[in-house]
Chains A and B, each alone.
Chain A
């Protein structure tokens, strides 16, 4: 699961800015609730991505409460491209192995 939350966050924030709660709901909707973790674990990833220059944060007052909105930066979009490429490479490699194992099981 290493890197999965990062790639999802960068992908969703590439489209539009969101605050934490909104982002968690967007992840849930986009993945059909297939990925289930504590909702609070998204924030350290957001903070680390921001510290790395991949995201920027801005405070906005909404309905009397101040929300921290996150949006992707140019560096974030570049990192997303790299992560997607890496993810595709691993996905292809694992699929080939699984296909091979599938044939071996069928042959046996």
Chain B
């Protein structure tokens, strides 16, 4: 099977902005089609080499195949068309939206829970969940964004920017839990070291703390580093198995 022309075609389509899932499916169907055509050519009495050439010729030239895909706007990737939106802004929005959802669920639960006050296990569970949100989720986002960007062959700076933003927000956020023996006195809180720096005039956000902010930056850098390391491992393993899609 002449797999190099199909590999060239898939690279060309991905770089042109065709969605990864469409390219993968197209190449799979072309490979199947080639196999069928090859078998049919063999039954006509051609030898293997002639049958291979005939089957490939029937499929069409790389130029013809590429043009047929690029002529279909429905097959274009949103990420390739709007990389800043998909890899830069969307992760930040999703992170905030999911956090807002957790806070809303927490509020709804605490309002309806009977018998009040809320038990200690509830506070500990939410504390753990919020810690995952601010420390682990940015890393997961980073790895997924970098992998998605590599698969779609888009420029790598947008997923790095998106990951850095989520890591910065997560790294500079802190979660506090105070569990008290007295019923109703336990407290769970979350604050950001970044917001008082951005909005120093808003007293409710607290006073700016340069040392705490520096700690947040270090955590953000670590998260970005872990995400980048996991991505490099993925690339290395993929390179060993086989590159492409």
- Which A residues lie within 8 Å of B58 (CB)? 38-39
Contact A40 B65 (CB under 8 A): yes
B72 CB within 8 Å of chain A: yes
Report the minimum CB–CB distance from A23 to chain B (whole Å). Answer: 10
B interface footprint on A51-67 (CB within 8 Å = 1, 0 otherwise): 11000000000000101
- Which A residues lie within 8 Å of B65 (CB)? 38, 40-41
Contact B29 A68 (CB under 8 A): yes
Assembled-state Cα–Cα distance A45/B72 (Å): 7
Contact A20 B32 (CB under 8 A): yes
Q: Contacting B68 at CB < 8 Å: which of A24, A40, A52, A65?
A: A40
Contact A47 B22 (CB under 8 A): yes
A38-B60, A52-B74 known; A45 and B37 CB under 8 Å?
Answer: no
Number of interface residues of B (CB under 8 A): 21
A44 CB within 8 Å of chain B: yes
Assembled-state Cα–Cα distance A47/B18 (Å): 12
A87 CB within 8 Å of chain B: no
**A31-85 with Cβ < 8 A to chain B:** 37-41, 43-45, 47-48, 51-52, 65, 67-68
- Which A residues lie within 8 Å of B74 (CB)? 47-48, 51-52
Give the interface of A toward B (CB within 8 A): 20-21, 24, 37-41, 43-45, 47-48, 51-52, 65, 67-68
Closest 6 pairs (CB-CB, A-B): A38-B60, A41-B68, A48-B72, A51-B74, A40-B59, A21-B36
